[in-house]
Amino acid sequence: MSLLQRMLKGATGGAVGLGALVLGLVCSGVTAVLVTAMGAALLPRLLAPLLEAGMAPPALSAAFASAYPWVWSGPVLVVMVAVFGRGLRFWMAGVVGVASMLLWGSFAVVAMYLSLFVQAAAV
């Protein structure tokens, strides 16, 4: 039995379950791309003036700068839940993908704004 046949067999939730899986993959994948772009390109530019002035970056921004590559665990988790989960695994994969988007998106936005607020306070 192929992997695709195994995934489609059983209590997947039917076509709506497949939609939930696709939604989870899209949410976690787009979030991974955007958060990686923010962490690799945007955050260093925001933190550069602070570091040049000898100020320490906010703790949450520094944590985001070191942890943003872990955002790619979201799409991997979605696939793992879809393949190895039990019961309504496609639904659960969708929930994992949306949760990944909400958590990492919030973390990225707050980290970016904190660095902007610290720059504004320094002026």
User: Which pLDDT does position 12 carry in this prediction?
Assistant: 58
Measured CA to CA, the distance from residue 83 to residue 119 in angstroms comes to 46
Measured CA to CA, the distance from residue 75 to residue 87 in angstroms comes to 20
Q: Model confidence over 25-37: pLDDT tens digits?
A: 999 999 999 999 9
Measured CA to CA, the distance from residue 110 to residue 123 in angstroms comes to 20
Counting residues of the chain whose pLDDT is more than 90, the rounded percentage is: 65
Measured CA to CA, the distance from residue 70 to residue 36 in angstroms comes to 9
- 17 three-state secondary structure: helix
Q: Enter the pTM of the model.
A: 0.83
Q: Model confidence over 76-120: pLDDT tens digits?
A: 999 999 999 887 889 999 999 999 999 999 999 999 999 999 888
